[in-house]
Structures are given as structure tokens and as C-alpha cells.
Structure 1
Amino acid sequence: MIHHYHVHSEDEETFSLDFEIQADATFAQLQDMLIETLHFDPASIGMFYLCDDRWQEIGQVASRDFFESDRGTQYDIDRTRLEELMDETGARLRYLYDAFEDRYLSLQLVKIHSGSLPTPRIISIEGKRPRQISPDEFVGGLDSVIPSGDTTSGLMDEAFDDDLFNADELSSDSFSILDEE
């Protein structure tokens, strides 16, 4: 059996993707196809959320290392096959592709038909592809945050500027020290 999915993104309204994949493929194989097609970072954490007909999350498909206890029923991404959970037209998934910005792709199973495919097949891809935020972009760029060798003390001096901190203003009355025995 072959599954035909339609994918859209809330962040890139012009984006749409239609593809076919074997119904007996694992969710890990589906993830690999999305990563390759959309040029996502394969090292990024990605997971699927099973959804009801109103896109409310009812279960999770992820690596066992990343299960979230409050996300309903949980399935292993490497062992669970699409046909086990996506067994009728209209079934819905959300794929977390950008954990830094909490961004998702929405996938809907639009057709199931007989046949076989040696590899997933892209039917169409349109619009601007959603992109992941890199760790450098998320934190403002590592170069701007991590100082080079000699500037570390400069950051400390800046953090504890003499104008902001005056040791003479401290009173021993406001501190208590407990003796440990």
C-alpha cells in the first residue's frame, strides 16, 4: 500500500508539499524523507504528534530519549510503521522540525492506494520552504556571545561595574552565616 500525504506550514503560507511513501515505512523513514527534501539539519531533534480532526495532539512518535510525558500515547519512531497509526484517509500529524522556535509542519493523509514504491516520491513542492533556526541564530550568534581568550575579564568587569556595585554599602547586619558542625 502507498500513502499520499499533503504537507503545509503555518510559518510559510505559500509552502505545500505532496508526496507518496510506502505505508509500511517507519516514522523514522518519513522523518528522513522530510529532512532530505526540505534540507533540514539531521542532527536536530524532530518528532511527530498524532492529531485528531481538529489538529489537537493525541499521541507522540519520537525517539525514546525524547518522549514528553504529557503528550498522550507514545510510539517509538524507529519501530512504528505509518500504517499502524495512519490507517485511514484524513489522518493527521504534526512534525516538530524546529525545536528552537517551536515550529511544525502539518501532514494529512489524503489518499491510500495499492502498489509499492522503492523510495518515497515527491509529487509536488511549491512556495518558500520552511527553514530551521540554527543554534547560532537562536542565541544571537555564538561569536557575539562567546568571547575570545583575553576578553573574559572584560565581561566580568562589565557585569560588576564599579558604578553598580559598592562593597561599602553592604552591611553585615543583613547577612547571617550559619556555623556547620
Structure 2
Amino acid sequence: MVYKFRVILDNEEDIFRDIAILADDTLEDLHNAIFNSFGFDGLEVGSFYTCDDTWNQEDEIPLFDSGDVLGEMKIMSDYILSDILDTENTKIIYVYDFINMWTFLVELAAIEEISAGSTYPETLFVHGEMPLESGEKNFMADEDDENYNEFEDDLDEDDLDMFGGDDSFEDYGFEENWN
């Protein structure tokens, strides 16, 4: 089977790509298809995030294992597309380049039979030109949110001090001028 995705850049302008890829390819294959179709060089890392129907981000699926115990974390190459996306679960978020935070909304639009003579993955349709910069992301809480100041009253200066008021590094086993 072939999965056809619409991959939309989270931007003010309408910029998207339609991509066809085999259902038994991995999320890593989809990662490669996305950065190629949008013209990135592939030198940066990315992650997929599961989400609900309203695009609320849930679990991260990274390109590389960054966990404390190597091999314990599942990564993109561990997930077959048909195991994570289907007619019921059609949405996933993709973030490329964690400095610029290129964010894409990826939605499964169709599941079709393989077309003879086609090579997958394939970019089927291109709409819009990529901007030079990813655009601003607002990571600040909304002051109108009822939980905006929820923890503010519980904090004091000691909570923000890693060294308990002592600026020395003696207890950490290395010297201040280690280089």
C-alpha cells in the first residue's frame, strides 16, 4: 500500500508538499522524504511527535537515541508507518532543525494501491516557496490562561540556585579552570 501525506509548514503563508511513500517504510524514511521535498540539506536532526486530532503534541519519536541507556529509546527507524498511522490516526507533527524549529503538520490524506512504474517516496505536489527563516515561535504562556501564574508564588531565589548559594564547583569533582 502507498500512504499519501500532505505536509504543511506551520507558517503564515500556505506552503505544503504532497508526498507518497510505502506503508511499510519507516518514520525515518518519511523524515528523509520531507526534508528532501522542502529543499533542506539533511544536516540537521528532527523528531516526530504523536498528536491528537487537534494537533496537541504528545510523545516524541527522535531520529537518534538520546536516552540515558543506549538502545532503550525507540527511534524513527523503529516505527513502520502502517504501525503508527492509519485511517483512525492520521496526524503527526514533524520538527526539523531544533535551532530554527521548522515545524510541519503531517496528515495522512489517502491510502492507495502501489502504482506500477512509480518510485517511492515521491513528491507528488509542491505548493509555495520556503521562506529563508522559519518564522517566530511563541513559547510563552498566554497570560489569559487560568494556570499562567500557577507556580509563581511557590518560587523563591533558592529554587533557582543550582549551587545552594555557593558559586564554587568544588563538590562536583572538577576545577573551575579545567581547560
Query: How high is the TM-score relative to the length of structure 1?
Result: 0.62
Paired residues, what number? 128
1:124 aligns with 2:120: no
Partners in 1 of 2:76 and 2:131 — Cα distance? 22
The 5 A counterparts of 1:57-68 are: 57-66=57-66
- The letter for the 1-side match of 2:87 is E
Unaligned runs of 5+ in 1: 68-73, 134-181
Partners in 1 of 2:125 and 2:89 — Cα distance? 19
CA deviation after TM superposition for structure 1 residue 41, in Å: 3.0
What SS is found at the alignment partner of 2:33? helix
Q: Which residue of 2 aligns with 1:79?
A: 78
**Larger Cα Rg: Structure 1 or Structure 2?**
1
- For the 8 Å contact 2:51–2:58, the answer to whether it is kept is yes
Q: Which residue of 2 aligns with 1:169?
A: none
Q: Which residue of 2 aligns with 1:146?
A: none
Partners in 1 of 2:18 and 2:88 — Cα distance? 14
Partners in 2 of 1:124 and 1:38 — Cα distance? 11
Offset from partner CA, 1:77-115 (integer Å, 9 cap, x none): 112111000022661111111311323011100111222
What SS is found at the alignment partner of 1:84? helix
- The letter for the 1-side match of 2:109 is V
Partners in 1 of 2:111 and 2:131 — Cα distance? 26
Q: Which residue of 2 aligns with 1:101?
A: 100
CA deviation after TM superposition for structure 1 residue 131, in Å: 5.2
Partners in 2 of 1:131 and 1:27 — Cα distance? 26
- The letter for the 1-side match of 2:123 is I
- For the 8 Å contact 1:52–1:91, the answer to whether it is kept is no
Q: Which residue of 2 aligns with 1:20?
A: 20
- For the 8 Å contact 1:18–1:122, the answer to whether it is kept is yes
Indicate the RMSD between aligned Cα atoms, in angstroms. 2.4
Unaligned runs of 5+ in 2: 68-72, 135-179
Structure (1 or 2) with the greater helix fraction: 1
- The letter for the 1-side match of 2:10 is E
Partners in 1 of 2:5 and 2:130 — Cα distance? 16
Query: How high is the TM-score relative to the length of structure 2?
Result: 0.63
Identity %: 24
